[in-house]
Amino acid sequence: MKANAPNQLYLGCRFSGYTRIAVEACAKFADVISFNIYRTTVDPEAWKWLEEIDKPAMIGEFHFGALDRGMFHPGLVEAPNQAGRGEFYERYVWSVAKHPNFVGCHWFQYIDEPITGRTHDGENYNIGFVDVTDTPYRELVHSAQKVHSEVYNIRSSESAQP
């Protein structure tokens, strides 16, 4: 990889399912190992094995949705309502920041999917920071602002979990 793409940061394949052998093989070539982790938090015990891989890891996808604003599907991880989406977001980012092997996480995705479904598969999740009219979900935005302003302190201290 480095011979053909020098000076490029290679994030691997972004595992959604994996075996330990596959992750170890990826670690030989990737600069960062990427995972999609659709859970309410990142359990430190479940991911402790990453210490043995000795590569930074990042989360390429996570989201939370709810059904309280007119959408028909909450996505892969359901929150009770929009306030719950914000609470889940804070806890999730906190859990990633506290894990020594994770270097970040990426929300999927910025805007809700159309209520009629996206083109290639009809998926229509309430997973955006904004709805399809570009109106922010204030509860989620507020929670993101809060945890993002604290993330370096969380990472470097023994902060209490929210």
Any idea which of 24-33, 34-43, 108-117, 153-162 has the lowest mean pLDDT? 153-162
Cα–Cα distance, 125 to 135 (Å, whole number): 16
Per-residue pLDDT tens digits for 84-125:
999 999 999 999 999 999 999 999 999 999 999 999 999 999
37: phi > 0 → left, psi -120 to 50 → alpha, else beta; which? Answer: beta
Note the pLDDT of residue 124: 96
77-95 tens-digit pLDDT: 999 999 999 999 999 999 9
Q: How is 71-110 classified by DSSP, letter by letter?
A: -SB--SSB-SSHHHHHHHHHHHHHHHHHSTTEEEE--S-S
CB 95 within 8 A of CB 162: no
Task: CATH number for 20-156: choose from 3.50.50.60, 3.20.20.80, 3.20.19.10, 3.40.920.10.
Answer: 3.20.20.80
- Please state the domain extents for the chain: 20-156
Q: What does the pLDDT read at residue 160?
A: 59
The helices-and-strands tally (H runs, E runs) of the chain is: 4, 3
Residues of the chain with pLDDT > 90: what percent? 90
Phi, psi of 27 (to 5 degrees): -60, -25
pLDDT given for residue 90 in this prediction: 98
Mean predicted lDDT score pLDDT of the chain: 95
